[in-house]
Every structure is written in structure tokens, then in C-alpha cells.
Amino acid sequence: MTTPPEPPPDHEPAPAPGDEPTRARGGAPDGAPVPVLTDADADADAGTGPTPTPDPGTGPGPAPRVRRFWSVRRIPAAVLAALVLGGAGLLLYDVAAVRADRSAMAWRRELADGLATRPLDDTWVVVGAAVAVVLGLWLLILAATPGLRAILPMRREHADVRAGLDREAAALALRDRAMEVSGVQSVRVRVGRSKVAVKAASHFRELDEVRADVEAAVAAGVDELALAHPPALTVRVARPPRKA
């Protein structure tokens, strides 16, 4: 005698709270790992990711400091070297002659006697000391100042390249810019290390309008020169002198 099979139940038993299938939550199929959604993935899905941290080694570095060009000063150096070499050689020769039982030169004997007998307030002693002080100050100034005042340093786009612009060339370029202004008859431009002086003569138009146009044109020209230290601008416009 066989027992008939039990009919299937009308409905499946409710799953336990912890046994809910993943598919019901929109996840992976049964047995597949469930992906974990992090904050970074959520930001990427939203199109707004975290702000990347810039690499300090790849960013643009600070602009290199621009300094004036230093003069070689070959002429003062050559003159000073010749004087020192000549004086030292002459003194060495006289000392060697005295060591060889010969008489010293007359100029050295007179100089030694004068330094031993003349008082400090003597005119020649004061004059000699003043000349020595002036020469010493001159040499110190040459050693401490760069020189080459006629060359204006330009901005350094690359750290390995230095460029300079002659002041006369800069004045010529700014003069051409000022001559393009309507009403300007003649222009004189002086370019210094910290100032540009423009003096123009206008034979028609109002002077204030010409001055404004000349100032704008020269200011644009100064910006195009790409100087490291843009000079201040002074513009003067007047009527040309009348012919007698």
C-alpha cells in the first residue's frame, strides 16, 4: 500500500527577515557577490567627483626674479690692474736692488723722507688722502652697482633665458606708437629705468583728447615691450611754436 504524495502548498512560506533574496532588492542573482557602493562611486555616478589633489611637483613654479644686467667693466678693471701691476713691479725691483747693495731710487727716498717729516695737516698730504678716498669710493660703487643702465630687463618667460631691451630702441618704438595718434605733429620720448616721459606737439584737435589718446597708445606700447619693471608714464601735449 502506497501513500499518495502530498499536494503542494497553495503559497510558499514567507522567508525569514534575513533570508530575503538579493534579486528582490535589485542586486545580483543568487550566489553572486553583492557590489558595495561607496561614496566615491556615488559621486562618480552623479558626475561630481572629489576634487583631485594637485601634485606640487607638476604645478607651475614661482616666476623667477628678474634683476638688472651687471656690467663687466673691462676698462676700469684693466686700468686698476695696470696701475697695481706697475706699482708693485717697480717697488719689487727697487727692493731687490737695495738687497743687492745698490742705492734705492730717488722717488722712493723722497717719498719715505716726505712721509717721515711732513705733518698730517700738510696740503699735499691732505690732497693725497682725498684722492685716495675718492678712488676707493669709486671702486666700491663700481663693485656694488650693476651698471648697464641703458639696458632694461624684460620679463622672463623661461628660467634659462634672459632678455634685455635698449632704452633707445624702446623710446623709438614708443615714439612710433605715439605718432600714430591723430593730431600729433611731433613726439619726443625719453625712457628711463623707472619713468617714460612723452612730450608731443599737436597742431589740431583738442589737447585733452590728444593727450588721452597718446597716453593710451604709449601705455599699450609699454605693455607690449614686456619689461620686467614697467615704468611710470608721463605725457605732455602742447601746441607747436608759431613760426615768426
Please give the average per-residue pLDDT across 59-86, as a whole number: 77
Give the CA radius of gyration of the chain. Answer: 44
pTM: 0.56
Q: What is the DSSP string of 58-118?
A: TS--PPPPP-PPPP--HHHHHHHHHHHHHHHHHHHHHHHHHHTT-PPPHHHHHHHHHHHHS
Q: Give me the pLDDT at residue 112, please.
A: 83
50 contacts 40 by C-beta, under 8 angstroms: yes
pLDDT digits (tens, 9 = 90+) for 178-230: 999 999 999 999 999 889 999 999 988 999 999 999 999 999 999 999 898 88
**Nearest of 228, 179, 180 to residue 199 by alpha carbon:** 179
**pLDDT at 173 exceeding the cut of 70:** yes
pLDDT digits 0-9 by tens, 138-160: 888 888 888 888 888 988 877 77
Contact at 8 Å (CB) between 112 and 36? no
Phi and psi angles of residue 26, each rounded to the nearest 5 degrees, phi first: 80, 20
Strand pairing class (184-191; 195-202): antiparallel
Q: Do 200 and 187 form a contact (C-beta atoms < 8 A)? A: yes
Determine the pLDDT at residue 157.
79
